[in-house]
């Protein structure tokens, strides 16, 4: 159903209805932001890049060939735009500090959430960039191996191998380190 809606709105935009693009933005802005934020680790840079991604998507909408899902094509354009930006500007990442505005959350809960997020980011940072991106596409955006292959233009078996290797690396790292939230998940 989502693909049919996407195709309808893509057709509307291509027919001249610029307002239809707002639907596409609203549907995908949070997903694209999540990917980009994990790539740059800076919310302000991520916001700028997401805007640039949607501008690029709008300009290239006529190039969507409908061979895969629109979501996969959108992710591919966005990831490629970010990678191009990194190469051009040599973007430096800064530590992301999660601003959790919890009205009913106690300071202890907020602290534990931030600590859990920090530990996860540290774990993911130990992976190679290409493996980290695949893991994020799989577990943050719930993309299938086929969709990840489409986004990154790599074979499905390569996606599966990289995810398997990345999970093994994370598991081994957690076995060597004592303590921490994620250590308990991989105890033997």
CA 36 from chain centre, in angstroms, equals 6
Whole-number Å distance between alpha carbons of 116 and 111: 9
The residue whose two tokens read 């992976």 is 127
**CA-CA distance, 51 to 57, in Å (whole number)?**
10
- Residue in the block written with tokens 């969507």: 64
Please tell me the pTM assigned to this model: 0.58
Q: How far apart are CA 98 and CA 80, in angstroms?
A: 26
Tokens of 148: 């990840």
Question: How high is the pLDDT of residue 94?
Answer: 34
Reading the block at residue 104, the tokens are 């009913």
10-residue mean pLDDT series, the chain (188 residues): 84 92 93 84 88 93 88 87 74 39 61 71 80 81 81 89 89 70 50
pLDDT value, residue 27 = 93
pLDDT of residue 179: 53
Domains located in the chain, CATH noted: 1-96 (1.10.1740.10), 100-188 (1.10.10.10)
Distance of CA 179 to the CA centre of its chain: 28
């Amino acid at each position: 159903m989502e693909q049919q809606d996407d195709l309808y709105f893509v057709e509307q935009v291509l027919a001249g209805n610029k307002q239809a693009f707002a639907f596409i933005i609203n549907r995908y802005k949070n997903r694209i932001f999540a990917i980009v934020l994990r790539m740059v680790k800076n919310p302000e840079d991520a916001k700028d890049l997401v805007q640039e991604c949607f501008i690029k998507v709008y300009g290239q909408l006529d190039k969507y060939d409908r061979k895969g899902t629109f979501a996969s094509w959108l992710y591919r354009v966005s990831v490629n735009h970010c990678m191009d930006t990194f190469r051009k500007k040599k973007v430096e990442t800064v530590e992301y500090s999660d601003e959790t505005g919890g009205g009913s959350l106690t300071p202890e809960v907020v602290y534990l959430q931030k600590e859990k997020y920090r530990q996860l980011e540290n774990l993911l940072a130990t992976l190679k960039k290409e493996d980290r991106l695949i893991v994020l596409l799989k577990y943050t955006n719930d993309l299938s191996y086929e969709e990840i292959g489409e986004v990154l233009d790599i074979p499905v078996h390569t996606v599966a191998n990289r995810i398997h290797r990345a999970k093994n690396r994370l598991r081994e790292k957690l076995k060597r380190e004592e303590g921490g939230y994620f250590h308990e998940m991989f105890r033997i």
